Structure 1
Amino acid sequence: MTIVDPLADRLLRSTAKQSYDPDVDLDWDAPPVPGLWWMQPERISLYGTKLWDRLSEEEQITLSRHEVASIASVGIWFEVVLMQLLLRDVYSADPRDARTQFALTEIGDETRHTVMFGRAIGSMGMPAYGPRPQVRQFAKLGPLALRGPSAYASILIGEEPVDRWQRDSMRDERIQPLTRMVSRIHVTEEARHVTFARDELAKSVRTLGRTERVWHQWLTAQVAFITMRSLVHPDVYASVGIDPREGRRAALGNENYRETIAWMGEKVMPFLEEQGMVGRAHRKTWRASFLMR
C-alpha cells in the first residue's frame, strides 16, 4: 500500500496530467527565425556596457545565442548534480512512500530536461560550455557535502532564478521559438520540483541546532556564489571578438547584469531568509553572487 502524502500525491497527479515529451513537443527541424534573439537582450551580461555598444546588432544576437547555450549547459551540469542528491535520498527510502515516488518522478523529469537542453544546444550549433573546469571539479564534492537543508536550498538556488528568467523569456516574441518552447516545458515541470523542494527545506530546518544551521548556511552561500558566477562562461565573448577575460571583467562589473541576477532571485531569496538559510556571516558571499544587493 502506498504511504499517502497530500503534497506528493498532488504533485504526482499533476505530473500525470501535464508533462511534455520534448521529442514530440519541439520542432527540432525548424530553422532559426532571422533577426530574432536567443534570449532577452537586456538580460545579456554585457548589455549596457561600452563593449556592448561597440557590437553590431548581428553580433549582439550572436552573443545572445552563445549566452543562452552557456546557461543551458550549466543547467545540464546542475541537473546532474541535483539528480545525484535525489538518488542518494531515495536509495534507502521506502518505495511505497508517495514522496519517494515523486522524487523518482522528478529524477525522470530532470533526465528528460538534460536531454532537451543538450539537444537544443546542438540544434543551435553551439558549444556545450558548462562551468569552468575548476568549478566542475569542486562541484564533485556537492553530493558528498550537501545534506538536508543545504541540499534542498541548493536545489532552489539552481532552479528558481533560472525559472524566473525562463518565464520572462517564454512570453517574449522577440525570442527564437526554440528558446521559448524549451523555456515553457522547463517552467511547467520545474514548478512541481520547486514546490517539493520548498516543502522539504521547510521540514528539514525545524530540527537544526545553531551549529548545524551555520554549516548549512555556509554551504548554501557557496552554492549560490558558484552557480550564479558560472551561468555565463567567459569563452562566450570570443564569439564576437572580445577577449574572454575582458568580457568577464566587464560583465561582473556591469550594474545591469548584477540587477538581472538580483531580479532572477527575487522570489527565492525571501523564502531562503524566512527559512533561516541566509546567515549574517555569509552576506558578503551572497552579495558577491549578485542574488543579494
Structure 2
Amino acid sequence: MSSPATERRGDEVARRLLDSAATLSYDPATEIDWDAPLPDDQYGLNPEWSTLYGTRLWDEMSQAQRVTLTRHEVCSIMSTGIWFEMILQQMILRDQYVRNPARPEFQFALTEIADECRHSIMFARVCEKMGVPAYFPKKGVVELARLFKSLAVAEVAYGGTLVAEEVLDVMQRDWMRGENVLDIVRTSSRIHVLEESRHMKFARQETRDRMRGAGPARRQLSGASVAAGAFFIVTSMVNDGVYAAAGLDTARALDEVRRNQHRKAMMRSSCAHLMDFLSQAGLLTRPAISIYKRVDML
C-alpha cells in the first residue's frame, strides 16, 4: 500500500504530465505526409545504427543493399516496438485496475495507453509504406512474454517499460536528425520521442515509488526480472530475416553482428543514462549486471 506522501508525489508528477499531454501531442495521421514518395537513396535509419555498420561485410555491400538493410532493420525495431507496446498496455491496465479514477496517476496511465495505441498504428503504417513485412520475436520469446505481462507488477512492470522506452529513445533522437534518413522515419521518430518523454518520466516516478522500502530479497528478484525483460527486448529488436531481405548470407551476417565492436559500443552508450537510474533505484543488482553485460547494455 502506498503512503499518502508517495501518492501525493506521484499525483504531482502525473498532473504535470497530463498538462503537457494536453498542450503537446501529435496526430500521426496528419503530421506525416503519407503520400510522399520514398527517395531510393535514403536510409531507414542512420547507417551508424545498422547492426552491420563497421564490419567487413558492410564495406562489401552495395549502396542499394545498405539502404534495403536499414529499412528492414528500422521496421523490425518498429515491429518489436508494437509488440512491446501491447505488453505495456496490458501491464498498465492491470496495475490501474479498480484504482481511483479521479487521481491524476490513473488518468495519465490511460493517457499513456491512448498514446501507445497511436504510436503502434503509426509504426505499422510506416512499415506498410516502406513495403516491409511484419517482423516478430521468436516463438519462445512471444510465449515467455505472455507470462511476463501476466505476472509483472509494480517496479517490474514500470522498470521493464522504462528499459524498452529508453533504448529506443536514444536511437530515435539520432534518426530524427539524420539528413540521409527517410522523412517518414524522421517525423515518426520525432513524434515518438516527444510523447515518450512523458511516459519515461511517469515510469521513472512509478519505479521509484514502488521501490521505496523494498527489502534486499525484493530488490534482487525485481532487478533480475527487469534485466531478463531487457534481454529479450534487445535481442528481439532486429530480426534475423532482415539480412536475407538485403540479399546477404544470414549466417555470415549474424557472425559479423556478434563480433561488431562498433555496435556494442553504441548499445553501451545508449544505455548509460538508463543504468544510472536503475542503480539509483536499487535495481542494478549483481545478477542484473551480468544479464545486461550479455547484451552489451553495460
Equivalence for 2:37: 31
8 Å Cα contact 2:95/2:153 also seen in 1:
no
From 53, 57, 75, the counterpart of 1:51: 57
Q: Give 5+ residue unaligned stretches, structure 2.
A: 1-7
**2:224 equivalent to 1:227:** no
Deviations 1:81-116, CA, capped at 9 Å, x for gaps: 000111101112111111000000000000000110
Q: Is the 8 A contact 1:71 1:232 kept in 2?
A: yes
Residue 286 of structure 1 aligns with which residue? 292
Q: Is the 8 A contact 2:95 2:154 kept in 1?
A: no
Residue 73 of structure 2: aligned partner:
67
Deviates more, 1:277-286 or 1:114-123: 277-286
- Counterpart of 2:138 in structure 1 is 132
Q: 1:83-232 counterparts in 2 under 5 A?
A: 83-232=89-238
Unpaired runs of 5+ residues, structure 1, are: none
Give the Cα–Cα distance (whole angstroms) in 1 for the partners of residues 42 and 124 of structure 2.
Answer: 21
Q: Quick check: 1:228–1:261 contact (8 Å CA) kept in 2?
A: no
Q: 2:247 aligns with which of 241, 245, 251?
A: 241
Deviations 1:250-288 (A, max 9, x none): 212211111121122122111011111111133221101
Q: Counterpart of 1:5 in 2: which secondary structure?
A: helix
Query: How far, CA to CA, are the matches of 2:146 and 2:19 in structure 1?
Result: 34
In 2, Cα distance between equivalents of 1:27 and 1:130: 27
Distance 2:287 2:132 in 1: 40
> SS of the residue aligned with 2:99?
coil
CA contact (8 A) 2:65 2:247 kept: no
**Match of residue 15 from structure 1:** 21
Counterpart Cα distance in 1 of 2:59 and 2:269 = 23
**1:245: how far off?**
3.3
C-alpha separation in 2, matches of 1:82 and 1:26: 25
The TM-score with structure 2 as length reference comes to 0.94
Q: CA RMSD in A?
A: 1.3
1:228–1:290 contact (8 Å) kept in structure 2? no
Distance 1:287 1:145 in 2: 25
Contact 2:224 2:285 in 1 (8 A): yes
Looking at structure 1, the residues matched to 93 and 252 of structure 2 have their Cα atoms a distance apart, in angstroms, of 40
Q: Which moved more, 1:130-139 or 1:227-236?
A: 130-139
Residue identity in the other structure for 2:95: D
Q: What is the SS of the residue equivalent to 1:29?
A: coil
Q: 2:46 aligns with which of 40, 51, 60?
A: 40
CA–CA separation in structure 2 for the residues paired with 1:134 and 1:244:
20
Moved over 4 A (4+): none
> Corresponding residue for 2:266?
260
CA contact under 8 A between 2:75 and 2:127: conserved in structure 1? Answer: yes
Aligned residues: 290
Amino acid at match of 2:272: E
Q: Would you say the 8 A contact 2:171–2:270 is kept in 1?
A: yes
